[in-house]
């Protein structure tokens, strides 16, 4: 069975690029363009890993992490995308339970490696 990845990112081009790459690697990908959509998809699709941007419309990546860890009480690994100057937010994300973070600009190859490593550790 394919492992499920939820990608929450408001930049549509980047989302599509990552989705394409993730599907090429054999993952089933769910895309959300804001925090609210991400929360709904997490509840319904139960992903194996979540990739989320910190700054998103409606509700932020931090709220998404809190929703997974505190409301749903799931231990789904979460990789956070951050931009330069969001170091404080990254620290907050780790405090809330994020597993890893990647600073934009990043390499999709590196992202895939991190996803594989985290999912292997989970098993």
Partner 1 sequence: MKEFLNDLISIYLSLPLLIQVIWVVIFVELILILSSFIHLNLLRSRYQNKMKEHQKLTDKYQEILINYIYFTEDEIDEKNKTTKLLKIAIKNKSDRKVIQNLILTLHDDLTGELAEFLETLYYDLGLVQYSLKKMNSPVWFIKIKGIREVTQMKVKDVYTETLMLINHKNQLLRSEAQLTMVKLYQFEGLKFLDTLDFPITEWQQILLIEEIQSIRNQEIPNLTNWLYSKNDSVICFSLKLVKLFNQIQMKDDLIKLVQHPSEKVRRTAIDILGYFRILEAKTILKQIFKNSAAETQLFIIQALSQLSDKKDIPFFEKQLNSADFDIKKVAYDTLKDLKPFLVTINLNKV
Residues forming the site for partner 1 (CB under 8 A): 11-14, 16-17, 20-21, 24, 104-110
Residue 2 tokens read as 């394919």
Q: Which is nearer to partner 1, 18 or 68 (CB)?
A: 18
Beta carbon of residue 72, minimum distance to partner 1 (angstroms, whole number): 28
Neighbours of 96 (CB within 10 A): 19
Q: Which is nearer to partner 1, 21 or 116 (CB)?
A: 21
Cross-strand bridge partners of residue 103: 82
Beta carbon of residue 53, minimum distance to partner 1 (angstroms, whole number): 10
In angstroms, how far is CA 29 from the centroid of its own chain? 11
Question: What does the alpha-carbon distance between residue 18 and residue 96 come to, in Å, rounded to a whole number?
Answer: 25
Q: Which is nearer to partner 1, 16 or 91 (CB)?
A: 16
DSSP letters along 20-39, please?
Answer: HHHHHTT-EEEEESSHHHHH
Q: Which is nearer to partner 1, 12 or 40 (CB)?
A: 12
Beta carbon of residue 59, minimum distance to partner 1 (angstroms, whole number): 21
- In the three-class reduction of DSSP (H, G, I as helix; E, B as strand; rest coil), residue 51 is classed as strand
Beta carbon of residue 63, minimum distance to partner 1 (angstroms, whole number): 22
């Amino acid at each position: 069975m394919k492992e499920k990845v939820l990608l929450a990112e408001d930049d549509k081009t980047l989302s599509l690029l990552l989705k394409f790459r993730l599907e090429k690697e054999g993952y089933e990908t769910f895309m959300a363009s804001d925090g609210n959509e991400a929360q709904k998809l997490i509840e319904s699709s139960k992903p194996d890993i979540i990739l989320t941007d910190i700054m998103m419309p409606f509700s932020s990546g931090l709220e998404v992490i809190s929703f997974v860890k505190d409301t749903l009480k799931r231990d789904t690994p979460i990789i956070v995308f951050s931009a330069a100057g969001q170091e404080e937010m990254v620290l907050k994300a780790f405090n809330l339970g994020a597993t890893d973070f990647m600073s934009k600009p990043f390499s999709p190859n590196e992202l895939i490696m991190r996803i594989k490593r985290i999912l292997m550790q989970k098993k």
